[in-house]
Structure 1
Amino acid sequence: MSTIDPDVPVLPLLESDELRAVRAAVREICERFGHGYWRETHERGESPDALWQALSEGGFIGVNVPEEWGGGGLGMQGLITVGEELAAYGFNMLLLVVSPAINGSILARHGTTEQKERWLRGVAAGTTRIAFAITEPDAGTNSHNLRTSLRREGGKLLLKGQKTYISGVEQADQVLVVARGVNEDGSLGLPSLCIVDVDAPGFTRDRIPMPYLGPDHQWTLFFDDVEIDEDRLVGGFNGGLGPIFDGLNPERIIGAALACGGGRLALEKASAYARERQVWKTPIGAHQGVAHPLAKAKIDLDLAWLMTQKAAALYDAGAQAGEAANMAKYAAAEAGIACVDRGMQTLGGNGLSIEYGMSDLWWGARLARTAPVSAEMVLNYVAEHSLGLPKSY
């Protein structure tokens, strides 16, 4: 009789009682707010603070953070359950990606004891919200071309540069900024991670107008010699490269979970409509031209969710999760888009109406193909790292 090595990641085919309880509790919170909450909050130009507070009080924002720092101790498996269920109700919460998934993971693995006490406990409780800033106008997905700098001058650390398409800064208390340390010869070194208060002198921001339906905004950030204390560096000066990837893999995993949740909601709406809508003598769902595309979308979505769970299990076990995280993000984005597109086609003209809510799902689904990493860059990664093909960029 074989035994399972306890150090080997295991992916259960059935969700545990604990995760099922998490899912049910998150759904109950969502139902308290109702399906109209996301659009209404967006139209009022408000942040979803009430929902965030309810999730925080339930212990669901920091469900991935280790228990010793006030979290739920369920790792990324717990957080993808929360994220997928939120998105399956229509609440595609981007701040869940950056605060607990990216920054919570980085601080848990690389923060000092003092940094964990100061920031990670708050992230776990949902009382501290930290945005994440890496993308720059002239760098795009080429993180090696970042120009935001952190230099020593007169006994101070000064942050200078610009970031763009940074999510949820209006809701955040701090931003974890990726900069490059300036070496003694003036050249730019390896990445450094620094925690910056949103009201720090020299830190300004401009909102980027977006068609995306959701209360999370996008921002361009400007840092004009913002003073950074040494104890705000995560990983130390020029020591942020490893911590960055311990944040970017969770970003891809939770992004995949949100895409899966949105796809699930689209299929639920489309299937319910196809069971009831009659144009001739039978419901339109009886016609294979409607049923088969929905069935295919369901298969692709379930496969994407399985890869998302695998990526989460690998990350939680401390194993190499980069390949699975990228594959999960790619598969979930494509599956989510297909579910929403097929849902809109199933509903016909009603698929474009606000009343039926299907068109509200489009921007969140389509966003997943581009961010947090584009589909093309995922394919580049898989071609090079999984298939051993020559680097193409």
Structure 2
Amino acid sequence: MFITDAVGAAADPIADTPERQALREAVRAIVRDVAPPERRLPLDTAEQFDDELHAHLAKLGATSIGAHPEQGGEGNALDQLVVLEELAAGPTSMAVFMVVHYMGIEILSAHGSREQRDTWLAPLSAGDATMSFCLTEAGGGTDIARAMRTTARCDGGGWVIDGEKTWISGATRSDVYVVLARSADVAGSAIDGITMFLVPADTPGITVRELPTVAVHGFDTCQVTFDGVRVADDAVVGEVGRGFRQVLSVLNRERVNAAAGAIGAGRAAVEYAAAYAAERPAFGSTVGSFQAVQHRLVDAMVALEGARGLLARAAHAEVAGGRADILSSMAKLAASEAAVKATTTGMEILGGAGFSLEYPMQQWWRDVRLWVFAPLNNDMVRNHIAEQGFGLPRSF
């Protein structure tokens, strides 16, 4: 990293222990050796998931970070951030995959039964299975609880799920889906009456259609249809009717993990642009000798490091058991917008080279746009900060 390279690893507010510094170096080495640009860019163009890289991460133990100890889990939020930042600095799609993976790990660790953890959390932690989180619908993104049309009705000794989810990551290759469906109408509450289910991907009645997207090509985005899908009572995760509240309890982690991904990709873009500018000849010197270019690189770096400081505060607050939702929202907001700024700067410094699929800048530039609206639109993030941080009236 440009900051730790200059002032030493002790300045890293996230990899703040020798163990986390070793984890950062290990993931960085895997990315360098297994997913260099000459290998990952063709995979991205072909829209293929990198199974080899996933296998190396599982062998390292990255897929088990945060899981319940009985299923081989270890580490905490800070360890996840280290993994995600280093992945996003290279194969960003794998970082997006791991954000989804870690959310599933946390849901099952916190709310899954012992049987559910043994059946699904154990292989997920070992890297032997993958999952998708089926929440969003075409009629509702941020307002999904109120707009949810997917239903689950009791039917004898089980449930029948009907409905359609969209913008679901990884559904073509997942082994199991975590599905949110409305199981009851609760007067005066949009978020109650929603139940969470574990649904094996091969259950009859499920249809998956991959959606074409502009970015994150190494991890598919899909529409998933549930037509009379039958599951047993033991498919319910946690409490009936409390599924959305259970999701809310893990959103803080998803925000900080998204922030880490944005920072990683933004950092890589700035480093790549600086190295390119130092070598690219222009007007008898190099592009990097021009003050305007230097200032833009510095501004991008400062924005990213400011976001990293917020991210570290949010993660440390969560690990310590304190309130982290405002800090995590601020970190996600700052990181995503800093990453957009950094990758735009990188594209413009590279010029025509940035427009080429043979260079990694265009991948970072495309991929970071995801985190401006996911896992929550930045305007809604601002609303949350204003309401919770300042005590101002709800603005929507």
Superposition CA RMSD, Å:
2.0
2:52 is aligned to: 50
How far apart, CA to CA, are the structure 2 residues paired with 1:128 and 1:356? 32
Classify the secondary structure of the residue corresponding to 1:46: coil
How far apart, CA to CA, are the structure 2 residues paired with 1:36 and 1:316? 38
How far apart, CA to CA, are the structure 1 residues paired with 2:334 and 2:345? 16
Structure 2 gap ranges (5+): 1-11
Q: What's the offset of the Cα at 1:280? A: 1.9
How far apart, CA to CA, are the structure 2 residues paired with 1:12 and 1:287? 32
1:296 is aligned to: 299
TM-aligned CA distance change 1:213 to 1:239, over 3 Å: closer
Q: What's the offset of the Cα at 1:232? A: 1.6
Q: What's the offset of the Cα at 1:363? A: 1.4
Q: What's the offset of the Cα at 1:216? A: 0.6
How far apart, CA to CA, are the structure 1 residues paired with 2:40 and 2:252? 27
Residue type of the alignment partner of 1:254: N
Q: What's the offset of the Cα at 1:179? A: 1.2
- Normalised by the length of structure 2, the TM-score is 0.91
1:323 is aligned to: 326
1:205 is aligned to: 208
1:7 is aligned to: none
Q: 1:253 aligns with which of 252, 256, 260?
A: 256
Is 1:140 equivalent to 2:145 in the alignment?
Answer: no
Q: What's the offset of the Cα at 1:374? A: 0.8
Is 1:281 equivalent to 2:284 in the alignment?
Answer: yes
1:152 is aligned to: 154
1:113 is aligned to: 114
1:104 is aligned to: 105
Judge conservation of contact 1:160–1:226 (CA < 8 Å) in 2.
yes
Judge conservation of contact 1:66–1:74 (CA < 8 Å) in 2.
no
* Runs of 4+ with deviation above 6 angstroms: none
Judge conservation of contact 2:81–2:260 (CA < 8 Å) in 1.
yes
1:18 is aligned to: 19
Judge conservation of contact 1:202–1:224 (CA < 8 Å) in 2.
yes
How far apart, CA to CA, are the structure 2 residues paired with 1:14 and 1:86? 15
How far apart, CA to CA, are the structure 1 residues paired with 2:330 and 2:274? 27
Judge conservation of contact 2:14–2:312 (CA < 8 Å) in 1.
no
Classify the secondary structure of the residue corresponding to 1:312: helix
How far apart, CA to CA, are the structure 1 residues paired with 2:140 and 2:359? 39
Q: What's the offset of the Cα at 1:197? A: 1.0
- Normalised by the length of structure 1, the TM-score is 0.91
1:194 is aligned to: 197
Q: What's the offset of the Cα at 1:352? A: 1.3
Residue type of the alignment partner of 1:89: G
Residue type of the alignment partner of 1:360: Q
Judge conservation of contact 1:38–1:91 (CA < 8 Å) in 2.
no
Equivalent pairs counted in the alignment come to: 380
2:8 is aligned to: none
How far apart, CA to CA, are the structure 2 residues paired with 1:158 and 1:321? 37
Q: 1:309 aligns with which of 312, 325, 329?
A: 312
Q: What's the offset of the Cα at 1:255? A: 1.1
TM-aligned CA distance change 1:233 to 1:315, over 3 Å: farther
Residue type of the alignment partner of 1:113: R
1:178 is aligned to: 180
TM-aligned CA distance change 1:12 to 1:335, over 3 Å: closer
Q: What's the offset of the Cα at 1:228? A: 1.8
Q: What's the offset of the Cα at 1:14? A: 6.3
Q: Which moved more, 1:308-317 or 1:230-239?
A: 308-317
Is 1:347 equivalent to 2:362 in the alignment?
Answer: no
1:63 is aligned to: 65
Q: What's the offset of the Cα at 1:190? A: 2.2
Q: What's the offset of the Cα at 1:213? A: 4.5
Q: What's the offset of the Cα at 1:39? A: 2.2
Classify the secondary structure of the residue corresponding to 2:288: helix
TM-aligned CA distance change 1:333 to 1:292, over 3 Å: same
How far apart, CA to CA, are the structure 2 residues paired with 1:311 and 1:13? 10
Q: Which moved more, 1:234-243 or 1:40-49?
A: 40-49
1:5 is aligned to: none
TM-aligned CA distance change 1:217 to 1:14, over 3 Å: closer
Is 1:369 equivalent to 2:375 in the alignment?
Answer: no
Judge conservation of contact 1:88–1:265 (CA < 8 Å) in 2.
yes
Judge conservation of contact 2:89–2:264 (CA < 8 Å) in 1.
yes
How far apart, CA to CA, are the structure 2 residues paired with 1:345 and 1:370? 23
Q: What's the offset of the Cα at 1:273? A: 1.3
TM-aligned CA distance change 1:243 to 1:37, over 3 Å: farther
Q: How does 1:219-238 map to 2 (within 5 A)?
A: 219-238=222-241
Classify the secondary structure of the residue corresponding to 1:369: helix
Structure 1 gap ranges (5+): 1-10
Classify the secondary structure of the residue corresponding to 1:171: coil
